[in-house]
Amino acid sequence: MDTIDPSSRQRAALAKRYGEADVPALGPWSETLELLLSHRTLRGFSSAPLPANTLETLVAAASSASTSSNLQTWSVVAVTDHDTKVELAKVGANQKYIVECPLFMVWIADLSRNNRLGREEGMHLEGNDTLEMMLMASLDATLAAQNAAVAAESIGLAMCYIGGLRNDAARVAELLHLPPGAFAVFGMCVGTPKPGAPSEVKPRLPQSIVLHRETYKVGDEKALRTLYDQRMGVFSKRNDMAMQTWTQRVVQRLAKLSGMSGRQHLKETLIRLGFPLQ
Ligand SMILES: Cc1cc2nc3c(=O)[nH]c(=O)nc-3n(C[C@H](O)[C@H](O)[C@H](O)COP(=O)(O)O)c2cc1C
C-alpha cells in the first residue's frame, strides 16, 4: 500500500515539474493530475507488441476530445508497417524511434471529409477553404492526439510526438495516400518503454512567466528566464542533452530560417495539398 500522503505526492510532482524553488500553491489533487504532471516524452521503445485493441482504445480517447462545432475535422493513420515507418523516419530527420515503436500514429488535419460531404450534397463549402478551417482542423487533430497521449500514459505506455513529419508534409501525404485537404500535423510514437531509456520529467517555465492574471504582463520575465536557464542547464547536463539552456534552444531553433528544416515552406506546401488558406 502507498503510505505517502497525497499532499506530499502532489508537492513532489509539482517540484519535478517546476523545480523546488517554484512549486506553486497546492490546490485540489487527483490521480488524473498526478498522471498529467508525470508526463515525459520517451525516445526508446521495446519491440513488445501492444496489448490487444490498444489502438481502438486510444482512438476512443481521441474521439472524446472537444472538437470545434462538432465538425470533427481530424483523422489518424495508424502505421505499423516497417517499411512505411522507415520512409516516414526519413522525413522526420531519421529519428530512430519512429521505426522502433510498434505503433506510429499520424494525426491528420482533415478537411477532405467536408469536401466530399459538400460534393455529395451538391455544393461547394466556401468556408472549408479558409485559413480559419485549416487552423480549426489542426486544433482538432491536436486535441484528439493529446487525449490519446494521456490515455497511452495512463495504461503504462509511452509516447513521443514527431513534428519532424512537417519537414516534408507533401512526402508524408504521398506515403499515406492522403486526399487533397488532408495534412499530417505530426506523428506520435506509441509503445512500451525500453528499459533504461531516459525518462526524467522535464522542468517547465515557472507559472510566474506563463500565468497572467486578468491582463498580460511581461514583468520580470528576463530574470525569471535566467533562473529557468540555470535549472534547464542542470537538467540538460544530467540527461546528456546537446543544448544547455532553454534560451540557447530557442535561439538555435529559430535564429535562421534554415533551422526550420523545410517547414519554412509550409504555406506553399499546404496550398499544394489542397488547403486554399483564404
Ligand atoms: C507538436 C510536437 C512535436 C514534437 N516533435 C518532436 C520530434 O519530432 N522529435 C522529438 O524527439 N520530440 C518531439 N516532440 C517532443 C518535445 O520535444 C517534448 O515534448 C519537449 O521537449 C518537452 O519534453 P517532455 O514532453 O518530456 O516534457 C514534439 C512535441 C510536440 C508537442
- Tens of pLDDT along 87-98? 999 999 999 999
Residues 6+ apart with CB under 8 A from 47: 100, 102
What's the CATH superfamily of 54-195? NADH Oxidase (3.40.109.10)
Which atom in ligand 1 lies closest to the alpha carbon of residue 165? Answer: 8
For the chain, list residues with pLDDT below 50: 1
CA of 144 to the centre of ligand 1 (A): 16
How far apart are alpha carbons 78 and 226 in whole angstroms?
41
Confidence (pLDDT) at 180: 98
- 0.95 surpassed by pTM: yes
> Which residue among 41, 90, 183, 263 has the greatest number of ligand 1 atoms within 8 angstroms of its CB, and so is best to mutate?
41
Residue type at 93?
A: A
Residues 6+ apart with CB under 8 A from 56: none
Q: Which residue has the cell 510526438?
A: 161
Confidence (pLDDT) at 1: 47
| Whether the Cβ atoms of residue 107 and residue 140 lie closer than 8 Å to each other | no
- By C-alpha distance, which of 74, 62, 76 is closest to 105? 76
CA of 92 to the centre of ligand 1 (A): 12
How far apart are alpha carbons 108 and 112 in whole angstroms?
10
Q: For the chain, how big is the Rg over CA atoms in Å?
A: 21
Confidence (pLDDT) at 3: 62
> Which residue among 43, 161, 201 has the greatest number of ligand 1 atoms within 8 angstroms of its CB, and so is best to mutate?
161
Residue nearest to ligand 1 atom 14, measured at CA = 161
- Between the two ends of the chain, the Cα-to-Cα distance in Å is 58
Q: What is the DSSP letter of 220?
A: T
Kindly list the domain boundaries of the chain, sorted by start residue: 11-40, 54-195, 205-278
How far apart are alpha carbons 55 and 49 in whole angstroms?
11
What pLDDT digit, counting tens, does each position of 134-179 carry? 999 999 999 999 999 999 999 999 999 999 999 999 999 999 999 9
